[in-house]
Amino acid sequence: MNTVVAQLQRQFQDYLVSLYQQGFLDNQFTELRKLQDEGTPDFVAEVVSLFFDDCSKLINSMSRSLERPENVDFKQVDSGVHQLKGSSSSVGARRVKNVCISFKECCDVQNREGCLRCLQQVDYEYKMLKTKLQDLFNLEQQIVQAGGAIPQVNIN
């Protein structure tokens, strides 16, 4: 039983480290994990869930604003990008945040094509992250069910 837990913990640690190494997550995600404790075991999962809801909602509305080439509401798009950049930064979603930076630049020069590309990319990135984090949370759950503790992971 001990080895099962140890194995799972190792798996969890390696997976989490890889997410940082591949640039999906940054320090802010570490900060989020620090805020979670026995009293609030679902905190990280809840916050990222809100974040993904945000992504979906904002991407939809920006998509509508960019739909007709002759009538693009760049102000609305800019507002959406600003919000998305803010929340991705708050949860440590590094790749999503970086796309937002390029997205903002396209918006500033009213480049509709560029905006559409960024929109597609941000959609891809948030969905990819969602899958990765789901895998991570599943590992966490397995550890808890096997009676183990979630390891503290130090990222340098």
Partner 1 sequence: MGMAAAEWKFHVLAVDDSLVDRKLIERLLQKSSCQVTTVDSGYKALEFLGLRQGIESNDPTALSTSPQEVEVNLIITDYCMPGMTGYDLLKKLKESSVFKNIPVVIMSSENVPARISRCLEEGAEEFFLKPVRLADLNKLKPHMMRTKLKNQKLEEIENGTEAVEPEIKGSEDMGIKILPLQSELEPKQVHLQVVKQEEETLSNNKRKSMEEGLSTDRPLPRLEGGIATAV
Which positions touch partner 1 (CB under 8 A)?
A: 28, 31-32, 34-35, 40, 43, 46-47, 50-51, 54, 82-83, 85-87, 89-91
Smallest gap, in angstroms, from Cβ of residue 52 to partner 1?
10
Q: How far is the CB of 47 from partner 1 (least distance, A)?
A: 5
Residue (97 or 148) nearer to partner 1, CB? 97
Nearer to partner 1, 32 or 153 (CB): 32
| Nearer Cβ to partner 1 (37/70) | 37
* Residue matched to tokens 């997550």: 25
Residue with tokens 């069910």: 145
The CB density around residue 34, as the number of other CB atoms within 10 Å, is 10
Query: How far is residue 25's CA from residue 21's CA, in Å, rounded to a whole number?
Result: 8
Closest approach, Cβ 4 to partner 1, in A, equals 32
- State the minimum distance, in angstroms, from the CB of residue 43 to partner 1: 6
Q: Which is nearer to partner 1, 89 or 111 (CB)?
A: 89
